[in-house]
Amino acid sequence: MTLPASGQITLNQVNVELGNSGTDQIGMNDAAVRGLFGIASGEIEMSDGYGKSSVTFYGSRGVFAGGEGRGDIDYITIASTGNATDFGYLTVNRGHCDGLSNGSRGVFGGGDGVSNVMDYITIASTGNATDFGNLTVARQEPGTASDGSRGVWAGGRAGGTFYDVMDYITIASTGNATDFGNLSGTRGSVAGTSNGSRGVFAGSSYANIVNVIDYITIGSTGNATDFGNLTQATFDLSAASNVTRGVFAGGSTADSSSGATNVISYITIASTGNAIDFGDLTVARQALGGTSDGSRGVFGGGYHSGGTAVNVIDYITISSTGNATDFGNLTTSRIGVGATSGT
């Protein structure tokens, strides 16, 4: 579960979120409570816990995988800055796959080709990916969301065919994906993220550029529900989140490389409504990868107006607003990068 996003939070709810009995003795100064609320020292209020979750669906290491015609996997330490380091290779060279994690295992699914491949890595170590299983439909450019146990791939395209399909897996095991339900419409080039409970999917494909945002409850199955709208109709964008806020970055507003945008917008995941302007990327680009450590969001790779691939990595502080800052570079310039994080 996730603590309420507004109103009253009880100590019973905090206990349950921490995995305790609801009636256990607990204090606001306990290390576990401070860790959950994200307040290391000083005064702490119940409202500091709004939307917080003990579920781990991200971590301190960011991983960027694939790219058009490439299988490279790079990693960074998200809390610092600097250039990425080689991690290993995907089982199949491909771009436009997307990744998710349970905080320790990362899984990348779909991609150019058109691929139904899912492969996985152990994020804390380095090395080549291992086969996980197959998506229900071969496609590229799906969006992803995780609750720390279950991972969902949504939308995507195979050439000029666009899908509304959503698949899910249990991240800790291996095997083929299972049907979850459907998006509100057929869409490729979707960006997905979550707060550890609710998954949100935004954007669309070049053939039908829309501003739609849908949401699901990851722990159940069923069709997506309308959430609201992006600040502009966009495809090929990326996303990052913490347990409260989802951030969407970059993408394209036109069916050509001249449409690449630097726009960053955000939503409050536990509620519904339209996205709000956050700031700008350092470089306008699409087909980039995004992930976070629950505090800082990072966005890597992609291509800008003119179709030139870049190795740029930017970062933001998710809980604030403002323009992105240069983080460093990927090991190579790549288009269609998948990303996730873990520890």
Residue 307 has pLDDT above 70, yes or no: yes
Tell me the three state secondary structure of residue 152: strand
* Residues 185-244 pLDDT 10s: 999 899 999 988 899 999 987 777 899 999 999 989 999 999 999 999 999 999 999 878
In one letter, which amino acid is 13?
A: Q
**Nearest to 158, CA basis, from 113, 117, 203, 193:** 113
* Residues 93-139 pLDDT 10s: 999 999 999 999 999 999 998 799 999 999 999 999 999 999 999 99
* Residues 35-46 pLDDT 10s: 677 676 789 999
DSSP state of 82: S
Phi/psi for 283 (5° steps) reads -135, 125
At 175, is the pLDDT very low, low, confident or very high (cuts 50, 70, 90)? very high
DSSP state of 76: E
Phi/psi for 55 (5° steps) reads -65, 135
Are residues 144 and 152 in contact, defined by beta-carbon separation less than 8 angstroms?
yes
Residue 1 has pLDDT above 60, yes or no: no
Higher pLDDT among residues 305 and 284, named by residue: 284
- Residue in this structure with the two tokens 């969902």, named with its chain if needed: 152
| Torsion over CA: 165, 170, 176, 179 (sign) | negative
> Cα(120)–Cα(101) distance, rounded to whole angstroms?
9
Q: What is the predicted pLDDT for the residue at 134?
A: 98
> Cα(196)–Cα(241) distance, rounded to whole angstroms?
10
Residue 180 has pLDDT above 60, yes or no: yes
Are residues 18 and 27 in contact, defined by beta-carbon separation less than 8 angstroms?
no
> Cα(119)–Cα(136) distance, rounded to whole angstroms?
14
Are residues 215 and 227 in contact, defined by beta-carbon separation less than 8 angstroms?
yes
Residue 55 has pLDDT above 70, yes or no: no
Residue 342 has pLDDT above 60, yes or no: yes
What burial letters (b/e) apply to 52-78, b meaning 16+ CB within 10 Å?
Answer: bbbbbbbbbbbbbbbbbebbbbbbbeb
114 upstream amide cis, omega within 30 of 0 = yes
C-alpha R_g of the chain: 18
Residue 295 has pLDDT above 90, yes or no: no
Are residues 311 and 332 in contact, defined by beta-carbon separation less than 8 angstroms?
yes
What burial letters (b/e) apply to 157-181, b meaning 16+ CB within 10 Å?
Answer: bbeeebbbbbbbbebeebeebeebb
In one letter, which amino acid is 16?
A: V
* Residues 143-159 pLDDT 10s: 999 988 899 999 999 98
Q: What is the predicted pLDDT for the residue at 256?
A: 62
DSSP-assigned states of every residue in 194-256 = ESSSEEEEE-BBTTB---EEEEEETTS-S--EEEEE-SS--BS-EEEE-SSEEEEE--BSSSS
Q: Lowest mean pLDDT: which of 26-40, 74-88, 223-237? A: 26-40
What value does the mean pLDDT take over residues 312-316? 98
Which H helix or E strand runs over 75? Answer: strand 70-77
Q: What is the predicted pLDDT for the residue at 243?
A: 79
Here the tokens at position 254 are 């036109």
**Nearest to 260, CA basis, from 154, 155, 183, 335:** 335
Q: What is the predicted pLDDT for the residue at 257?
A: 56
Tell me the three state secondary structure of residue 33: helix
Q: What is the predicted pLDDT for the residue at 91?
A: 97
Here the tokens at position 77 are 């330490």
* Percent of the chain at pLDDT exceeding 90: 72
Residue 326 has pLDDT above 60, yes or no: yes
Map out the domains of the chain with their CATH numbers.
Answer: 11-49 (no CATH), 61-342 (2.120.10.80)
Q: What is the predicted pLDDT for the residue at 32?
A: 73
- Residue in this structure with the two tokens 């873990």, named with its chain if needed: 342
